[in-house]
Amino acid sequence: MRFARPETAHEAAALIAKETGLIRILSGGTDVMVQLKAGLVEPALIVDIKRIPGLRKITPEAGGFRIGAAVSGAELGEHAEVRALWPGVVEGAELIGSTQVQGRATMAGNLCNGSPAADAVPGLVAANAVARIMGPNGERDCPIADIPAGPGKTTLAKGEFLTSIFLPARPARSGDAYLRFIPRTEMDIAVAAAAVSLTLNDAGVISAARVALGAVAPTVRLVPAAADTIIGSKLDEAALAALSAACSAACNPIDDKRGTIEFRTQVVGVLAKRAALIAYSRAGEKK
């Protein structure tokens, strides 16, 4: 195994392009190091991207924020403006692991590791966040929702890596929230999870919404049919019941020691309802 620490994104792309063996990008390393230790991967080359300028920065852009791919959960959580604009995204990222893991873990790594239970991903999908990707053919932008491809898999082409994640501007009276179910209060993997992002009009009626679910299908899933149940409503009982039913209907979960299919299917609906209510109050309406 070799270790490289490129100084620019182009240098990284060139290194990756000419490598014939297995490559692992290293951001926070909280998945990579565990996989190395377990012998699950034996890369020929580790590419540490943390020294590339801008990759550890959060920059305001077009009313939103560009989050460098190597920004850790702790750094993100300390950024008051990002937290104010996208509280649901930040709370998802902050649920990853312990204080020590937060010191290293990144949203980009969480996404590219490809876990269906990745805590930062539903919030990013609900936020309609966009990944900036560097590759052998230059740079491209891609919605986060289009990156997960199955457990441990992404749609990134060979040699491609994220340089940043863009969180867009949002209209006034918007809010988002992320909730997961775990059997204890800390340090566990989501059994089911839901993120809701919504915008209200002046009358307190939901004018736009996005709902994303985690840990209930082979990938994090955007569920437009669930968003449709609450658009046009003030989150009355009927709308909440329809939201819950639509989320449960969108599930295709596994059965394991951490949760049965029935449990995950039911709980994800409850989580979506609660997340919608939190997002609604963050958008400025009492419920």
Partner 1 sequence: MKSIHVSATVNGDAVEFICAPDESLLDVLRNRLGLTGAKEGCGTGDCGACSVTLDGRLVCSCLVLGAEAEGATVGTIEGIADGDTLHPLQQSFIDHAALQCGICTPGILVAAKSLLEKNPNPTDTEVRYWLAGNLCRCTGYDKIIYAVQDAAKKMRSA
Ligand X SMILES: Cc1cc2nc3c(=O)[nH]c(=O)nc-3n(C[C@H](O)[C@H](O)[C@H](O)COP(=O)(O)OP(=O)(O)OC[C@H]3O[C@@H](n4cnc5c(N)ncnc54)[C@H](O)[C@@H]3O)c2cc1C
Q: Which stretch binds partner 1 (CB under 8 A): 165-173, 181-189, 249-257, 258-266?
A: 181-189
Q: How far apart are CA 154 and CA 269, in angstroms?
A: 26
Both tokens assigned to 176:
């988002």
| Shortest Å, Cβ 240 to ligand X | 27
Q: How far apart are CA 176 and CA 89, in angstroms?
A: 8
Question: Judged by CB under 8 A, does residue 5 bind partner 1?
Answer: yes
The secondary element (H helix, E strand) that includes residue 172 is: none
Picked from partner 1, ligand X, none, the partner binding residue 69 (CB below 5 to 8 A depending on kind) is: ligand X
Question: Judged by CB under 8 A, does residue 26 bind partner 1?
Answer: yes
* Alpha helices for the chain (secondary structure H): 9-18, 32-37, 73-77, 80-85, 87-94, 99-102, 107-113, 121-126, 224-230, 237-249, 261-282
> Binders of ligand X among 22-51, rule CB under 6 A?
24-32, 34, 49
CA distances (Å), 285 to each of 16, 17, 200, 203, 207, in order? 49, 51, 9, 10, 13
Q: Binding residue for partner 1 (CB under 8 A) from 11, 14, 79, 101?
A: 101
Q: Binding residue for ligand X (CB under 6 A) from 82, 85, 89, 108?
A: 108
> Binders of ligand X among 45-84, rule CB under 6 A?
49, 69
Both tokens assigned to 115:
């876990």
Between residues 30 and 265, which has the closer beta carbon with respect to partner 1?
Answer: 30
Handedness of CA 250, 31, 144, 95 (dihedral sign): positive
Question: Judged by CB under 6 A, does residue 165 bind ligand X?
Answer: no
Binding site for partner 1 (CB under 8 A): 1-3, 5, 26, 28-30, 33-34, 36-38, 46, 48, 50, 72, 74, 97-101, 103-104, 185-187
